[in-house]
């Protein structure tokens, strides 16, 4: 929801209730529909349930009451997660100019694979490679390989705050793909969120701290392309991810992404050995192990303890933490235009997350 470091689509877990009938995931009075987010960069989407994983390998998520207070320890975890995911954009700004976008992305995905496979093994999660190879491949391409590479390239041209803000548009594009692929009707509220999100991007680019030349606009479009890819990944996971543990999807998709990225990363190795710096190596290491692997584990703990509805609030913290880290460590300016653009985009994201999708349009033609 990360850069997201998180697959963010991988955390989208469908359910199947006893008797095999799929239902909306609602809990006791006052409980809301579960939404899952993979922020920081990562998509956010509703969890529409189709299959319930084996609880021995994948404990069910808690359906929380909307007004229940979050514990102090979990608030601390939420802030820590926002701080971790906020660093990912700054770290790409350090690593990508040295190693190039593709090698940076490969290093991040391969290190994340090792961390997540170890995490899956510690949880007793069965990967079922032969059965799940296609979802792993598609989600790996759309939720890791493509968006990570686009963010790494945009890191060469735009500030961290711009990338984090584009990343937070993922829920808006998820709603668009829900319309295109699942037949959900685009309500006026969701359409308004889409337009408002684009307006926020225009404000950020138009009056932000960086002159809007051709490469800056290209960098913004690349980062928006990453958010579009996250939106597709979240929707595809709803379509084809039923019955697969979200931890397995996270680990399997990172592995698939690493394999697909390898041919594009190899040409950059000679330059990396010659021009590599300690700071760039550490940046890639932290991107893969901490911002993806450890952050996933922390996010799973939050969902288990507090529910997905509260866990997704990290989406609204990441642009702020990303801007703060970049200001402190990279001396990137934070201006009124930056704050205004981020604020408008976050309002659009909140609107898209809160809006209930209208049911799919039913054809009026009678069948023969």
User: What tens digit of pLDDT does each residue of 165-187 get?
Assistant: 898 888 888 888 988 998 888 78
| Tokens of residue 127, six digits | 């990967």
SS3 label, residue 45: strand
pLDDT at position 356: 62
| Average pLDDT per consecutive 10 residues, the chain (368 residues; last block may be shorter) | 42 42 39 40 40 45 52 87 92 95 96 94 93 95 95 95 89 87 84 86 82 91 94 88 86 96 95 90 96 84 72 79 90 87 86 66 40
Total residues belonging to the chain:
368
- Single out the residue of 181, 174, 180, 176 nearest to residue 315, CA to CA: 174
pLDDT at position 357: 59
pLDDT at position 104: 97
Residue with tokens 């990279």: 330
- Single out the residue of 117, 130, 172, 124 nearest to residue 1, CA to CA: 172
SS3 label, residue 358: strand
pLDDT at position 193: 85
| Tokens of residue 67, six digits | 């007004």
Q: What is the DSSP string of 80-144?
A: HHHHHHHHHHHHHHHHHHHH-HHHHHHHHHHHHHHHHHHHHHHTT----HHHHHHHHHHHHIIII
- DSSP secondary structure code for residue 289 in this structure: I
- Rounded CA-CA distance 138/347 in Å is 30
Residue 158 exposed, middle or buried by CB count within 10 Å (0-12, 13-18, 19+): buried
- Rounded CA-CA distance 69/67 in Å is 6
Neighbouring CB atoms inside 10 A of 307's CB total 23
- Rounded CA-CA distance 200/195 in Å is 9
| Tokens of residue 149, six digits | 């590479």
Residue 191 exposed, middle or buried by CB count within 10 Å (0-12, 13-18, 19+): middle
Phi-psi region of 40 (alpha: psi -120 to 50; beta: other; left: phi over 0): left
| Tokens of residue 272, six digits | 């990396």
Tens digit of pLDDT for each residue in 110-150? 999 999 999 999 999 999 999 999 999 999 999 999 999 99
Residue with tokens 């990912």: 88
- Rounded CA-CA distance 243/256 in Å is 19
Neighbouring CB atoms inside 10 A of 187's CB total 15
Residues whose CB is less than 8 angstroms from the CB of residue 344 and which lie 6 or more positions away in sequence, other chains included: 196, 197, 199, 200, 203
pLDDT at position 68: 62
- DSSP secondary structure code for residue 243 in this structure: T
- Rounded CA-CA distance 331/9 in Å is 32
**Contact assessment for residue 155 and residue 133, using Cβ atoms and an 8 Å cutoff:** no
What pTM did the predictor assign? 0.77
- Rounded CA-CA distance 108/7 in Å is 13
**Contact assessment for residue 90 and residue 137, using Cβ atoms and an 8 Å cutoff:** no
- Rounded CA-CA distance 293/56 in Å is 22
């Amino acid at each position: 929801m990360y850069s997201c470091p998180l697959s963010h689509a991988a955390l989208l877990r469908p359910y199947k209730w006893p008797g095999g009938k799929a239902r909306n995931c609602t809990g006791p009075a006052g409980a809301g529909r579960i939404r899952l987010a993979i922020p920081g960069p990562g998509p956010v989407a509703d969890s529409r349930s189709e299959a319930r994983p084996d609880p021995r390998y994948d404990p069910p998520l808690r359906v929380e009451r909307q007004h229940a207070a979050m514990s102090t320890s979990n608030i601390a975890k939420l802030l820590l997660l926002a701080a971790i995911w906020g660093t990912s954009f700054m770290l790409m700004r350090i690593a990508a100019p040295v190693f190039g976008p593709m090698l940076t992305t490969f290093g991040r995905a391969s290190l994340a694979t090792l961390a997540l496979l170890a995490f899956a093994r510690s949880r007793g999660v069965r990967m079922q490679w032969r059965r799940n190879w296609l979802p792993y491949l598609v989600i790996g391409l759309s939720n890791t390989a493509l968006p990570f590479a686009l963010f790494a390239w945009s890191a060469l041209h735009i500030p961290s705050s711009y990338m984090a803000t584009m990343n937070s548009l993922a829920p808006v594009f998820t709603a668009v793909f829900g319309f295109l692929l699942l037949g959900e009707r685009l309500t006026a509220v969701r359409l308004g969120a889409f337009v408002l999100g684009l307006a926020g991007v225009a404000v950020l680019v138009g009056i932000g701290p960086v002159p809007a030349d051709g490469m800056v606009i290209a960098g913004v479009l690349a980062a928006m392309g990453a958010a579009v890819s996250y939106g597709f990944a979240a929707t595809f996971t709803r379509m084809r991810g039923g019955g697969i543990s979200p931890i397995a999807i996270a680990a399997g998709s990172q592995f698939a992404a690493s394999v697909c990225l390898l041919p594009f990363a190899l040409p950059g190795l000679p330059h990396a050995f010659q021009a590599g710096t300690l700071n760039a190596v550490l940046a890639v290491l932290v991107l893969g192990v901490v911002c993806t692997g450890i952050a996933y584990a922390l996010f799973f703990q939050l969902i288990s303890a507090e529910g997905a509805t509260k866990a997704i609030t990290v989406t609204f913290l990441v642009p702020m933490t990303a801007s703060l880290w970049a200001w402190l460590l990279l001396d990137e300016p934070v201006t009124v235009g930056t704050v205004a653009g981020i604020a408008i985009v976050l309002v659009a994201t909140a609107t898209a997350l809160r809006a209930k999708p209208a049911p799919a349009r039913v054809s009026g033609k009678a069948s023969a």
